[in-house]
Structure 1
Amino acid sequence: MADVETPEELLTGQWQNRPSILDGYKPYLDDRWNEGCTNAWKLWEEIVPLGYKGGYQRVRAYLHDKRTSPRPVTSRPPSPRAVAGWMLRRPESLTESEQLQLKTARTHCPDALTRHVRDFATMLVERQGERLPGWLDAVRQDDLPGLHTLASGIDRDRDAVIAGLTCPGTQALSKDTSTGSRC
């Protein structure tokens, strides 16, 4: 407190970045707001069936900020790690809020990206390393620079990655004496 010059500085950042029960629904509310629906009660009624457990007043306060702010108020986008985690999980294991946020995030990224990420997750979970070369070819055919960088990194040690995607857990480190392979 001794380092601040004005009383307002004491409040800066204190409440603004705290998680809210409404956070998972803000992308939906923002989209509906941009579509022209500005009725807080109606929007609250729309998000309750989606799993929102909070009250109407929180929705009303969020929309009030949008009405009175000189600049648009938008929710903080989810982190890339969170979006990747949602894409990698089976859709039925996501909460309703996570499904809603993933749906919103996917509107801003190509369908091919989600498909490639899920295909890679399937290769990993089902130990299908033999599919990696085909996956790499498919990734290179799409205009996804981030995945092209990943594909280049995988190519540097392709055999090890295939072994890692194929061999179960710790057995990948032990040498099979009967075949001479590393599984």
Structure 2
Amino acid sequence: MTVVHGKERLSYDELNARANQLAHHLIELGVRPDQPVAICLERSLPMVVGVLAILKAGGAYLPLDPAYPSERLRQIVDDAKPKLLLCDVAGRTALGAEALAGVTVVDLETATPSWAPRSPSNPDPHTLGLTMPHVGRPIANTRVYLLDGDGAPVPFGAVGELCLHSAMAAYKRRLAAAS
């Protein structure tokens, strides 16, 4: 088995076919190379399928944890401005109606998904305009969010500015406040 979650299991072929079907659906919905696609699901097989489908469609996945405070999730969505969101009930609830406005929502908990009839074959990367520079390359204007000591999000302008030590993050905030 490739993926196991509780009593659910997917072989590599099943995982690949489902991810490809969803990827073709995302491409039909307009996903293009490097376009952010938000995904807000509880940990599950559909979450794994969703992440793989976003990458196969050429999109940049924007992970949102439904356990995070709604205010933080809305701030990230407002900042990243994804046009597409993959979610489940927990994700919809966590984000709230305000964050879902203006975003195309794809529910991955659907018993019979609308993308099931799509091709289980891999999307053609050349047709999508994907080249080797797209693989593993940071997306322009990428932001990383950390929580300060009070649980409020602290956006950093670029991935390279990510501070892994909370004391350093607190020090930078004190310096900024003193200026």
- Normalising by the smaller structure, the TM-score range is under 0.3
More strand by share: 2
More helix by share: 1
- The alignment's TM-score, normalised by the length of structure 1, stands at 0.20
Larger RCO: Structure 1 or Structure 2 (Cα < 8 Å, ≥ 6 residues apart)? 2
CA radius of gyration, larger in: 1
- The alignment's TM-score, normalised by the length of structure 2, stands at 0.21
